[in-house]
Amino acid sequence: AAVDITATTLPLSAVDDIGTGADPIDTTISGVLTLTTTVTGAPIFVRDTGVPTSLVVSVAESDVVLQFAGVARNYTFADATNALTGTGSGRGITFSNTTGGIAIGALDVGADNVTLDAFSSITDGGGTLTANAAVLTTVGAIGAAGVGNAIDTSVTTLTATANSGGVYINELNAITLTATAGGPSNDVEVDAGGTITVSNVSAPDLVRLDSAAGNVVALAVGTVVSGATATLDASGTIGV
């Protein structure tokens, strides 16, 4: 297909649709690619032949299909399930659903960064979030209590803010953690395969940090773990 837009940086915004499934917008972008639709159900379909340095996407409960020819990387967001998936390492993504949730499927950006912002909750979509640094923010909860309901991650650094819900994370390896739960009786529960380095963690009710094969340590002097109840478990040491 012929390229519609060639640019270093492209902010592309529309009230309604950007492209269609049958005829996506063809771009060649080498910088930041920003895509925004504002009406509920207004999808985004873009096919890029360049290598954008980063992606910024914002929709309101709308389908998104992003295809990239320059690297093995595609991102898909399904309106019906709120499932966000992306395969192959490459550039990071900032993704917002302004009127609904995000269910994290297999989302892998390798050594790059991910920022997710949801109006309702961020839930487990059956996959693992793989990135260098991840920032998760939501009005509701991040993950949920119970077996198989936590957000599965493989990240170096995680910042998780649930403004009126709990935070539930299952990290495969070691992690540097900042986590905040909001609203009455909500918890922060984090299980990690390696050392948990705590930057700041707070919850109205329970804070539970469990390192299966490592330590639970402070990032710096003055690190705060705040909750009505705190449970810290580690196979190694707890403290500095």
Percent of the chain with pLDDT over 90: 86
Taking the model in full, what pTM does it have? 0.96
**Which carries the bigger pLDDT value, residue 207 or residue 109?**
207
- Among 48-52, 192-196, 209-213, which is the least confidently predicted range? 48-52
Q: How far apart are CA 214 and CA 134, in angstroms?
A: 21
**Is the pLDDT at 222 greater than 90, yes or no?**
no
Q: What's the rounded mean pLDDT across residues 204-223?
A: 95
**Is the pLDDT at 70 greater than 70, yes or no?**
no
Q: What's the Rg (C-alpha) of the chain?
A: 19
Q: What's the rounded mean pLDDT across residues 118-144?
A: 97
Q: What's the rounded mean pLDDT across residues 165-190?
A: 97
Please tell me the predicted confidence (pLDDT) of residue 223.
84
Please tell me the predicted confidence (pLDDT) of residue 92.
84
What pLDDT digit, counting tens, does each position of 153-170 carry? 999 999 999 999 999 999
Please tell me the predicted confidence (pLDDT) of residue 71.
56
Yes or no: say if 97 and 121 are a contact pair by the CB < 8 Å rule.
no
Going 148 to 151 to 155 to 161, the CA torsion angle's sign is: negative
What pLDDT digit, counting tens, does each position of 31-64 carry? 999 999 999 999 999 999 888 888 999 999 999 9
Report which secondary-structure segment, H or E, holds 185: none
One-character DSSP codes across 24-62 = PEEEEESSEEEEEE-STT--EEEEESS--SEEEEEESS-
What pLDDT digit, counting tens, does each position of 4-36 carry? 999 999 999 999 999 999 999 999 999 999 999
Number of neighbouring beta carbons within 10 Å of residue 44: 24
